[in-house]
Structure 1
Amino acid sequence: MLELFKALADPCRLRLTGVLLAGEFTVQELTRIMGMGQSRISRHLKILTEAGVLAVKRQGTWSYYRAGEDNTFFGAIRLAFERELEQIPERAKDLAALAAVLEERRRKSLEFFEGHARQWDSLSRTLLPVPDYQQRLLELVPQVSRILEIGVGTGALLPELADKAQQVIGVDHSPAMLEEARRRVLAEGQATIELRLGEMTHLPLSDAGAGCVVANMVLHHASQPLAVLQEMARVLEPGGCVVLADLARHEREWAREQLADQWLGFEEAELAEWFGGAGLEQVEMLRVAAQPGQEEVLLVRGRKKQG
């Protein structure tokens, strides 16, 4: 408790903690949000991390900071702490700067996919090969009345999903990607597939509108994975499931620039934590082994709580 009070007894560290309760950010992003130099930010982050208020996740040469769980006392007072943050004079400015950083992440991702839609399938397979996992992914998808696939890209999975449901809705934030998907759907003559423009964190579907939500190699492009999973859970009917395929943790740093990846894959533990945080239970996880030169894939399924 004493270490916690010492760590928080500084206006800048209070502001930093408030920002990181809203998501995960790098030191570079935090310098922009806070309007401070890197050395000053790094010193405050070190103090907060040592006190267990924050945690750091290292991916390649990048370090992401977020709210930690090592200080149990902070966990106990967190709700009251978050309420009091609204009294900080700089709070509105910090939240606006935070939103600007998230918007820049979104804009860069959109620009990348808009410019690479036509060659995306060959580009992703060539630069970052993975084992053949699609059949195992499809086996996790149940027969339901409506499936929602987010981040459909060029629509490669849509025809297979159409065999699993009366209706399939495909969502992507890139108009160029949706155009490629539309060409594929028309060529396949799939009348039960509908395509919609939308963001992963603001899905164009009502609450409890789908029996299954599928995310195939999408989450590592999301700036806030937990927020995406929470939105997926929102559109699920009770008892419905999320089926996800994504990269296991790797160290190919160049993927951030060449493939617009936000994350270098994921650990099983952090995916399980996010699924739980989104209200998804009965979580099943399968790691698909890779051949030399490939990256391993994680397949995950979780169900929305009943009632």
Structure 2
Amino acid sequence: MTAEHQLQAIAALNKSSSDPLRLRILRALSTDSFGVLELCDIFSAKQSGMSHHLKVLAKAGVVTTRREGNSIFYRRSLGNEHLPQGQLLASLFQVIDQLPLDDTVQARIQQVKQQRAEVARAFFNKHAEAFRAKQDLIATFDQYAESARDLLLKAQPQPSDQLLEIGSGSGEFLTLIHQHFKSITALDISEEMLEQAQQLSQQQKLNNIKFLLGDTQTAIKAHAQPNHIVCNMVLHHVPSPADVFIDSAALLKSGGSMVVTDLCHHDQAWAKENCGDLWLGFESEDLTRWANAAGLEENESLYLGLRNGFQIQIHRYEKPNTVLKSHVIN
């Protein structure tokens, strides 16, 4: 890119960020992606006006779009920090992220997330019995379970360690890892799915499992303090994947690990209706960005290609051991 092209890009970036509402939109997109109508609700704006602002931001490369079924979602661009305009964009994000969103906007964002959560909860409560068959259309449990377990065990859990499984579903993964932990908390938003997990636990005589109905905020309120967290094929169902990382970092003990299994980004829109997916998988860079923003560090990753064209990604993140770090600093 020539110097002239870089100056033009910088000018476009400055122009796009000259409107206060656009800056507020960018602030709201710091850890989430939203559709046009969701942003209209959040900022009490008309669709035509919101579409114009998003078009200006997209043209300047400040936001990018991603199609989720029939909907277009907007998120902040990562930018290339090796280029001047990328450095300027990173500085802009750093500055606006220091400014809090007003209470009204925060409340509306929570309403949007609650609406998404209700959609997911209603789907799982309605399709609990048939969900395994629906999920198998994309990826069967056997295709990723052992790899997720092995990556979790690479963190070398101690016999006294506690594990939290986010979105335990009907409990199959519990049967693979129960013997490696002193206690496991199975967390799920669906009462029906949790009942299935309890029945399986009783049948398999798993005596170290606790069951908790709710989401990661419920686990925080319950004062859970796991050494390890596993989240298998769950993020594409949750209203805000970034929030799961934030909550997990808050829950994890220092030096703990988190294993995330999910789909790579795909364009199979039928998964939304048939499998209750809110998101069509993820770019690995998005998962890493959310993890890093929450204070977690990526340790190891692997990818599994499936014959049906889908691809599974499995990542292990670690929460830095602050005690060890403080000794090094001293």
Instruction: Give the TM-score taking structure 2 as reference length.
Output: 0.82
Residue 325 (structure 2) aligns with = none
The alpha carbon displacement at 1:267 in A equals: 1.9
Residue 191 (structure 1) aligns with = 207
Identify the range of structure 1 (212-221 vs 265-274) with the bigger mean alpha-carbon deviation: 265-274
Identify the range of structure 1 (24-33 vs 106-115) with the bigger mean alpha-carbon deviation: 24-33
Among candidates 10, 19, 25, match of residue 28 of structure 2: 19
The alpha carbon displacement at 1:241 in A equals: 1.0
Contact kept, 8 Å, 1:55 with 1:65, in 2: the verdict is yes
Match of 1:239, SS state, is coil
Match of 1:163, SS state, is helix
Among candidates 273, 279, 297, match of residue 295 of structure 2: 279
Give, in whole Å, the separation in 2 of the partners of 1:211 and 1:119: 32
Verify: 1:9 aligned to 2:21, yes or no: no
The alpha carbon displacement at 1:80 in A equals: 4.3
Q: Deviations over 1:46-97 (max 9, x none)?
A: 21223343333334543221233435334324454345565xxxx4433332
Contact kept, 8 Å, 1:31 with 1:41, in 2: the verdict is yes
Residue 311 (structure 2) aligns with = 296
Among candidates 209, 212, 216, match of residue 228 of structure 2: 212
Give, in whole Å, the separation in 2 of the partners of 1:238 and 1:82: 26
Residue 175 (structure 2) aligns with = 159
Distance change in 2, residues 1:258/1:8 (3 Å): same
Among candidates 179, 194, 200, match of residue 178 of structure 1: 194
Verify: 1:45 aligned to 2:45, yes or no: no
Among candidates 98, 112, 117, match of residue 106 of structure 1: 117
Among candidates 200, 205, 215, match of residue 216 of structure 2: 200
Give, in whole Å, the separation in 1 of the partners of 2:287 and 2:260: 10
4+ residue stretches of structure 1 with deviation over 4 A? 82-86
Distance change in 2, residues 1:284/1:28 (3 Å): same
Give, in whole Å, the separation in 2 of the partners of 1:64 and 1:20: 10
Structure number with higher helix proportion:
2
When the two structures are aligned, how many residues end up with a matched partner?
300
Residue 247 (structure 1) aligns with = 263
Q: Which runs of 5+ in 1 are unaligned?
A: none
Verify: 1:94 aligned to 2:105, yes or no: yes
Give, in whole Å, the separation in 2 of the partners of 1:247 and 1:28: 26
Contact kept, 8 Å, 2:170 with 2:193, in 1: the verdict is yes
Among candidates 129, 132, 152, match of residue 139 of structure 2: 129
Contact kept, 8 Å, 1:255 with 1:264, in 2: the verdict is yes
Among candidates 17, 36, 40, match of residue 45 of structure 2: 36
Structure number with higher strand proportion:
1
Contact kept, 8 Å, 2:69 with 2:270, in 1: the verdict is no
Among candidates 226, 238, 243, match of residue 254 of structure 2: 238
The alpha carbon displacement at 1:44 in A equals: 0.6
Give, in whole Å, the separation in 2 of the partners of 1:267 and 1:78: 21
The alpha carbon displacement at 1:113 in A equals: 0.8
Q: Which runs of 5+ in 2 are unaligned?
A: 1-9, 80-85, 323-330
Contact kept, 8 Å, 1:151 with 1:200, in 2: the verdict is no
Match of 1:284, SS state, is strand
RMSD (Å) for aligned C-alpha atoms: 2.3
The alpha carbon displacement at 1:154 in A equals: 0.9
Contact kept, 8 Å, 1:248 with 1:267, in 2: the verdict is yes
Distance change in 2, residues 1:21/1:272 (3 Å): closer
Paired AA for residue 199 in structure 1: D
Contact kept, 8 Å, 2:288 with 2:298, in 1: the verdict is no
Give, in whole Å, the separation in 2 of the partners of 1:54 and 1:252: 23
Residue 5 (structure 2) aligns with = none
Contact kept, 8 Å, 1:156 with 1:181, in 2: the verdict is yes
Distance change in 2, residues 1:109/1:163 (3 Å): same
Distance change in 2, residues 1:262/1:188 (3 Å): same
The alpha carbon displacement at 1:224 in A equals: 1.5
Residue 58 (structure 1) aligns with = 67
Give, in whole Å, the separation in 2 of the partners of 1:85 and 1:279: 19
